A = this chain, B = another copy of it.
Amino acid sequence: MTPKVARYLAEQQPATPCLVLDIDRVESNFRALRAALPLASIYYAVKANPARPVLERLVRLGSSFDAAGIEEVEACLEAGATPACVSYGNTIKKASAIRRAHAAGVTMFAFDSAEELEKLARHAPGSRVYCRILVENAGADWPLSRKFGTDVETARELMLRAGEMGLDPYGLSFHVGSQQTSTAAYEAAIGKVAMLFTDLRDAGVNLRMINLGGGFPTRYRDEVPGIDRFATAIMQAMTGHFGNALPEIVIEPGRFVVGDAGVVSAEVVLVCRRVKDDPIRWVYLDIGRFGGLAETEGEAIKYRITTPHDGGETGPVAIAGPTCDGADIMYERSNYRLPMALASGDRVELLSTGAYVTTYASQRFNGFAPLAEHYI
Chain A interface residues (CB < 8 Å from chain B): 46-47, 50, 67-72, 75, 89-90, 92-95, 112-116, 119, 134, 137, 142-151, 153-154, 157, 177, 267, 269-276, 282, 284, 286, 290, 294, 297, 318, 320, 322-329, 332, 343-345, 358-370
3 cross-chain pairs, A with B, having the tightest CB-CB distances, nearest first? A71-B367, A144-B326, A113-B272
Complex contacts, A344 vs chain B, CB 8 Å:
94-95, 115, 119
Instruction: Establish whether residues B148 and A326, one from each chain, have CB atoms under 8 Å apart when the complex forms.
Output: yes
Cβ contact of A366, chosen from B290, B328, B359, cutoff 8 A: B359
Known: A119-B344, A326-B145, A344-B115. A92 touches B270 (CB 8 A): yes
Distance between A120 CB and nearest chain B CB, rounded to angstroms: 12
A-B contact pairs, 21 of them (CB 8 A): A46-B367, A47-B366, A90-B366, A94-B267, A94-B269, A94-B344, A95-B345, A115-B271, A116-B272, A142-B326, A144-B324, A146-B326, A146-B332, A147-B326, A154-B275, A290-B294, A294-B362, A359-B362, A359-B366, A360-B365, A361-B363
Instruction: Establish whether residues A147 and B290, one from each chain, have CB atoms under 8 Å apart when the complex forms.
Output: no
Complex contacts, A345 vs chain B, CB 8 Å:
95
Cβ contact of A113, chosen from B134, B145, B273, B322, cutoff 8 A: B273
Instruction: Establish whether residues A47 and B270, one from each chain, have CB atoms under 8 Å apart when the complex forms.
Output: no
Give 5 A-B pairs besides A69-B366, A114-B272, A150-B274 with Cβ atoms closer than 8 angstroms.
A68-B324, A69-B368, A92-B322, A154-B276, A363-B363
Known: A69-B368, A144-B326. A150 touches B275 (CB 8 A): yes
Cβ contact of A359, chosen from B69, B115, B363, cutoff 8 A: B363
Distance between A73 CB and nearest chain B CB, rounded to angstroms: 8
Instruction: Establish whether residues B94 and A360, one from each chain, have CB atoms under 8 Å apart when the complex forms.
Output: no
**Closest chain B residue to A272 by CB distance?**
B113
Instruction: Establish whether residues B294 and A364, one from each chain, have CB atoms under 8 Å apart when the complex forms.
Output: no
Complex contacts, A153 vs chain B, CB 8 Å:
275-276
Cβ contact of A270, chosen from B115, B157, B324, B329, cutoff 8 A: B115
Bound together, the chains give a CA A46 to CA B114 distance in angstroms of 45
